[in-house]
């Protein structure tokens, strides 16, 4: 089932997802909406613990099936403990990464077949999916430079270390996901200045979900 108040932000490393999640949340709150901001992997106590197993350590620490299972274990906990209760209470939920990241990173990036990931999604979450997914797109090298410059939480660079070929595959993967599901996904060109990207995001939310956000 499509959750009408569930919006996800997706994209490769350094695309600016967290900045834009925060900004979109502020714009929606200014309209009087209730908004919960969250992230994956993480967003609930258990899922944050699983996150630590995924974002640090050796690049080849997990093989792709195990890695997808860990992401889906974290996602199940996050949906059950954070996302669904917030939606049931009438809030909007804005999430930094969700299931498309597993398809892009473990599927297109690490080579796990699309139908296996789709089957895993059905087992864990049925048809649950966001009403709108904003995919922030920018060239791989630019994103990796931004991500390295940002520093981030200590030791959270396992995916950044996976090599340019991996990041090119997942970028193409996100674009392919958007082509396959145009009713749900909007590509946002993220090389532009922050203000222009924020405006493009507000426009997408206005047009797709009918919210009265400013231009
Ligand atoms: P973050 O840096 O956006 O917080 O995300 C942590 C990393 O986890 C990021 O490099 C992408 C990766 N990831 C996956 O590989 N599969 C997934 O399903 C998710 C949610 C994230």
CATH classification of the domain holding 14: 3.40.50.300
High-pLDDT (> 70) share of the chain, %? 99
Domain assignment present for 64: yes
Q: For the residues 116-121, what does the mean pLDDT come to?
A: 98
Classify each residue of 144-171 as buried b or exposed e, where b means 16 or more C-beta atoms within 10 Å of its C-beta. Answer: beebeeeeeeeeebbbbebeeebbbbbb
In ligand 1, the atom with minimum distance to the C-alpha of 109 is 15
Q: Report which secondary-structure segment, H or E, holds 54.
A: helix 45-55
**Residue 195 domain-assigned (yes or no):** yes
Q: Is the pLDDT of residue 205 over 90?
A: yes
Establish if 112 belongs to a structural domain.
yes
Gap from CA of 40 to ligand 1 centroid (Å) = 7
Measured distance CA(158)–CA(47) in Å, rounded: 17
User: 214 lies in a domain?
Assistant: no
Q: pLDDT tens digits, residue range 133-186?
A: 999 999 999 999 999 887 667 789 999 999 999 999 999 999 999 999 999 999
Q: How far is the CA of 87 from the centre of ligand 1 (A)?
A: 23
Whether residue 154 lies inside any domain: the answer is yes
* Ligand 1 atom with the shortest distance to the CA of 40: 20
pLDDT of residue 151: 66
Whether the predicted pLDDT of 21 surpasses 80:
yes
Structure tokens at 168: 């090119």
Tally of domains in the chain? 1
**Domain presence at residue 144:** yes
Test site for ligand 1: of 43, 50, 55, most ligand atoms within 8 A of the Cβ: 55
Range of the domain at 18: 6-209
Task: Convert the pLDDT of each residue in 66-108 to its tens digit.
Answer: 999 999 999 999 999 999 999 999 999 999 999 999 999 999 9
User: 215 lies in a domain?
Assistant: no
**Ligand 1 centroid distance, CA of 190 (Å):** 18
Question: Does 184 reside within a domain?
Answer: yes
């Amino acid at each position: 089932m499509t959750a009408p108040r569930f919006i996800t932000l997706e994209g490769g490393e350094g695309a600016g997802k967290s900045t834009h999640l925060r900004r979109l949340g502020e714009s929606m709150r200014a309209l009087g909406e209730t908004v919960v901001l969250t992230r994956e992997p993480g967003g609930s106590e258990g899922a944050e613990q699983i996150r630590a197993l995924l974002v640090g350590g050796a690049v080849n620490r997990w093989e792709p099936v195990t890695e997808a299972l860990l992401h889906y274990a974290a996602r199940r906990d996050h949906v059950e403990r954070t996302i669904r209760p917030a939606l049931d209470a009438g809030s909007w939920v804005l999430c930094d990464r969700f299931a498309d990241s597993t398809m892009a990173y473990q599927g297109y990036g690490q080579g796990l077949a699309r139908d296996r990931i789709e089957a895993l999604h059905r087992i864990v979450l049925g048809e649950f999916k966001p009403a709108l997914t904003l995919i922030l797109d920018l060239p791989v090298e630019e994103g990796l430079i931004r991500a390295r410059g940002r520093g981030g939480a200590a030791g959270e660079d396992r995916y950044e270390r996976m090599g340019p070929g991996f990041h090119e595959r997942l970028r193409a993967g996100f674009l392919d996901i958007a082509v396959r599901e145009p009713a749900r996904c909007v590509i946002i060109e993220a090389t532009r200045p922050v203000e222009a990207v924020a405006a493009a995001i507000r426009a997408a939310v206005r047009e797709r979900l009918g919210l009265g956000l400013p231009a």
